[in-house]
Amino acid sequence: MKPILEAQHIVKEFFIGSSQEPYLSLRDIISNPLKKFRQPPKQLFKALDNVSFEVMPGESLGIIGRNGAGKSTLLKILSGITPPTSGRIICRGRIASLLEVGTGFHPELTGRENIYMNGSILGMRKWEINKHFDEIVDFSGVESFLDTPLKRYSSGMQLRLAFAVAAHLDPEILVIDEVLAVGDAEFQKKCLGKMNEVSKSGRTILFVSHDLSAVSTLTSKSMFLENGVIRCIDKTNTVITQYTSRQESESLIEFPVRPDLPTVIKVEMHTSEKGMIHSFGHPLAIEFGIQMPEKKYENMALSIQVMDHLNYSVLYNWIFDIEQPILRSPGYHTIKLEYKNFRLYKGNYFLKVHLAETKTKQKFQVFDCCSFEVEMLNRKEPEWGWQNNVCQYFDDAVWTAGKNQKIQDVKTL
Amino acid sequence: MEYIIERQHKFSLGLKELIRYRELFYFFTWRDVKVKYKQATLGVLWAILQPLIMMLIFTLIFSRGLNVKSENGIPYEVFAFSGLIIWNIFSTGLLNSANSMVTNANIIKKIYFPRLIVPMSAILISLFDFCFAFVIYIGIIIFYHQETNWLRLLYCLPISLFLTVLTTFGLGAFLAALNVKYRDFQYVIPFLIQFLLFANPVLYSSKIFEKGILAMIMKFNPLANAINLSRSAFTNTPIDWAGVMYGTLVAVIILFIGVYTFRKMEAYFADLA
């Protein structure tokens, strides 16, 4: 069996020059014909460097990597929006790409009209749209607004309609970029389910996302891109482990020693999972390595704040010399902080570390480090999923619902 | 089905693909027409009012004010309208198609389809407007009791339209491509259109140039020929078929340059826009 998609030595180069504008103005050329010679030579930037891979029919490929790794450029080349500088891709099936939901939506047109417009831009024929029209409307759940201009829709409704159209594309190869990053949890789930259905039906999906769990449910094989180069391409779980372990070094922060001042020279965070991901409710440990100078200090204090993504402190812990003698002798000390069960809710956090002396109120160091992520792993998911930003602290509690008060009592009030 | 995505080395028109995506012509045009008239209270009535008002203004200024003569004693109103009906296709078509790539940049950056569809369907909108203006045209002919060679109108107007669309599309595709790279053209195009209005025999007769360089230009000017052709139904003078040939030749050359430039730059629109 021949692969449905064969990418051979794809290279994409961009010039990043001194000019900030993506487009030129004639004035630049007319007024300054010599500029070209005077300008420092433009720098060549390789967004993709010798990328080769194969996808077999029915196989789905996840593409992961940090921002700027070249994922979107690769998808743009695959969808034919921009040509590669060199190399080629052999396709043995129709490609439809979904780099954005609702491309071609027009606010003045009604929902019905936008379904046709968007569908045909995505490459559907009119009869195909007619065929799927009821399903699309059904999936989007906007049937009562079909003849209302799109500008009156809420952004959630627009998104649902857009995804509904895209979900009914019928290509052999579907290229999807990070479109699930938007929308509410329930709808995201619905979309993921739909995409799963598509991949189960034997079609090929190329899927870019930062949501590793989505990648792992949708794809069996993945590619890890870094700076335009394929780091590895293998089974999704293997690739995800590789990807997260690349970020592991961030759990260890080291600072240079200052000979005459107390200095935190090392912070190491031990999250329950690799890649600075912590599973809710599991033990979390933070180790500090502190170098004390010759001069003696007798009132040292070390404290940490756990900050949330909005830079609010959500947790504070400290150790003061007054309560427990610390850091009294010169040399290297270690201090360890352990949480038996770390109960911060799903989200992104980082540490703010303070090293100070309480008597003189002198602060030696304040710095941010160890950004980490809490995930609700191995916990029963509520009906509506684990939604972001609903709280910072989460704990199990018991609800008791009683039925003591008689209805007559209420009435007499 | 097997195809290869790579850097384009040789020039091709991409006709096969255009045919595959033919429905998009319809949808782009349909969208723009809908959007154009949706928010206006008078709606499609504007397609009728615009050329009518222009005709009245030009008649007032040129005929009554400046005493510009039409041809063979045709009422100036009929004369001006017969020119404007062709001119409007060109001017709105050129303006829309030249800006089309920039206005649709958000789509171009996200989805692939043959890009030529965009400037092409921008011209189709002005053909839609033409249909309404044509009804008024007939009305005006009847209103002014203009003696008309209907047979000539029947075969000359389509040729004239064809010539106009060919020219508009060539120039439109050329400017649309350049506009993506050099946004200056956004400011240049209105001037160009204004200049061309006076350079073409829309409001005056091309007969005023009998000899010399200007007469030569008129002979090779596809638009001037298209306008003369549309008027030939009233003038009863022999049709200048040689001029039509020259004009078509020039239009085809413009079309070739325009489409060639467009196709050459097309691949990088998404990077530039």
* Chain segment A149-167, per-residue pLDDT in tens: 888 888 778 888 888 888 7
Beta bridge partners of A205: A174
**Is residue A400 exposed (0-12), middle (13-18) or buried (19+ Cβ within 10 Å)?**
exposed
The set of residues, in sequence order, having a beta carbon less than 8 Å from that of B74 and lying 6+ positions away, is: B146, B231, B234, B235
* Chain segment B189-219, per-residue pLDDT in tens: 999 999 998 888 888 877 777 777 777 788 8
Q: Enumerate the residues of chain B whose CB falls inside 8 A of the CB of residue A14.
A: 271
Which of A1, A16, A82, A128 would you mutate first to test chain B, the one with the most B CBs within 10 A? A82
Look at residue A249 in the predicted model and tell me its pLDDT.
Answer: 46
Report whether B160 contacts B229 (CB < 8 A): yes
Is the pLDDT score of A404 beyond 50?
yes
Compute the average pLDDT of residues B85-113.
90
Is the pLDDT score of A36 beyond 60?
no
For the ranges A12-26, A154-168, A287-301, B195-209, the lowest mean pLDDT is seen at A12-26
Q: How would residue A33 be classed by pLDDT, with cut points 50, 70 and 90?
A: low
The set of residues, in sequence order, having a beta carbon less than 8 Å from that of A259 and lying 6+ positions away, is: A293
A76 touches chain B (CB under 8 A): yes
What would you report as the CA-atom Rg of chain A, rounded to the nearest whole angstrom?
Answer: 28
Question: Which residue from B minimizes the CA distance to A149?
Answer: B38
- Identify which of A32-41, A192-201, A265-274, B41-50 has the greatest average pLDDT: A265-274
**Higher local confidence (pLDDT), B55 or A30:** B55
> Residue A139: enclosing H or E segment and its boundaries?
helix A126-140
Helix (H, G, I), strand (E, B) or coil at A280: coil
Beta bridge partners of A290: A264, A333
Compute the average pLDDT of residues B35-61.
82
Report whether A71 contacts A65 (CB < 8 A): yes
Q: Enumerate the residues of chain A whose CB falls inside 8 A of the CB of residue B107.
A: 103-104, 121
What would you report as the CA-atom Rg of chain B, rounded to the nearest whole angstrom?
Answer: 20
Which of B4, B6, B178 would you mutate first to test chain A, the one with the most A CBs within 10 A? B6
Contact flag B271-A14 (C-beta cutoff 8 Å): yes
Report the gap between the CA of A208 and the closest CA in chain B (Å): 15
CA distance A203 to A170: 9
Compute the average pLDDT of residues A265-271.
89
Q: How would residue A39 be classed by pLDDT, with cut points 50, 70 and 90?
A: low
Q: How would residue B251 be classed by pLDDT, with cut points 50, 70 and 90?
A: very high
Whole-angstrom CA distances from A220 to A10, A105, A234, A310 are: 23, 33, 9, 35
> What are the strands of the beta sheet with A173-177, ordered from one edge?
A95-98, A173-177, A204-208, A61-64, A221-226, A229-235
A16 touches chain B (CB under 8 A): no
**Higher local confidence (pLDDT), A21 or B34:** B34
Report the gap between the CA of A79 and the closest CA in chain B (Å): 6
Is the pLDDT score of B142 beyond 70?
yes
Beta bridge partners of A307: A313, A350
Look at residue A248 in the predicted model and tell me its pLDDT.
Answer: 46
Is the pLDDT score of A322 beyond 50?
yes
Is the pLDDT score of A334 beyond 80?
yes
Which of B33, B35, B110, B265 would you mutate first to test chain A, the one with the most A CBs within 10 A? B110
> Residue B246: enclosing H or E segment and its boundaries?
helix B241-266
The set of residues, in sequence order, having a beta carbon less than 8 Å from that of A404 and lying 6+ positions away, is: none
CA distance A168 to B119: 28
CA distance A159 to A142: 11
CA distance A312 to A349: 10
Beta bridge partners of A15: A44
CB-side neighbour CA atoms (13 Å) of A283: 5
**Higher local confidence (pLDDT), B263 or B65:** B263
Question: Which residue from B minimizes the CA distance to A74?
Answer: B5
Look at residue B95 in the predicted model and tell me its pLDDT.
Answer: 93
Look at residue A241 in the predicted model and tell me its pLDDT.
Answer: 73
Compute the average pLDDT of residues A230-247.
78
**φ, ψ for residue A270 (rounded to 5)?**
-110, 95
Compute the average pLDDT of residues A272-276.
82
Look at residue A311 in the predicted model and tell me its pLDDT.
Answer: 67
Question: For residue A174, which amino acid is it?
Answer: L
**Higher local confidence (pLDDT), A125 or A20:** A125
* Domains of chain A and CATH, by start: 5-245 (3.40.50.300), 252-401 (2.70.50.60)
CA distance A4 to B51: 55
Q: Enumerate the residues of chain A whose CB falls inside 8 A of the CB of residue B38.
A: 108-109, 149
Q: Within chain B, what is the greatest distance between any pair of CA atoms? A: 66
Number of CB pairs < 8 Å for A and B?
A: 105
What average pLDDT does chain A have? 81
Is the pLDDT score of A80 beyond 60?
yes
Contact flag A109-B8 (C-beta cutoff 8 Å): no
Which of A14, A21, A23 would you mutate first to test chain B, the one with the most B CBs within 10 A? A23
Look at residue A42 in the predicted model and tell me its pLDDT.
Answer: 65
Q: Structure tokens of A267?
A: 């912070």
Is the pLDDT score of A396 beyond 60?
yes
Look at residue A41 in the predicted model and tell me its pLDDT.
Answer: 57
Compute the average pLDDT of residues A282-290.
93
* B1, B4, B184: residue with CB nearest A25: B184
CA distance A278 to A300: 30
Is the pLDDT score of A183 beyond 60?
no
Look at residue B171 in the predicted model and tell me its pLDDT.
Answer: 93
Look at residue A175 in the predicted model and tell me its pLDDT.
Answer: 87
Q: Within chain A, what is the greatest distance between any pair of CA atoms? A: 93
Q: Identify which of B164, B47, B173, B159 has the alpha carbon closest to the alpha carbon of residue B122.
A: B173
Report the gap between the CA of B6 and the closest CA in chain A (Å): 5
Q: How would residue A338 be classed by pLDDT, with cut points 50, 70 and 90?
A: very high
Look at residue A34 in the predicted model and tell me its pLDDT.
Answer: 56
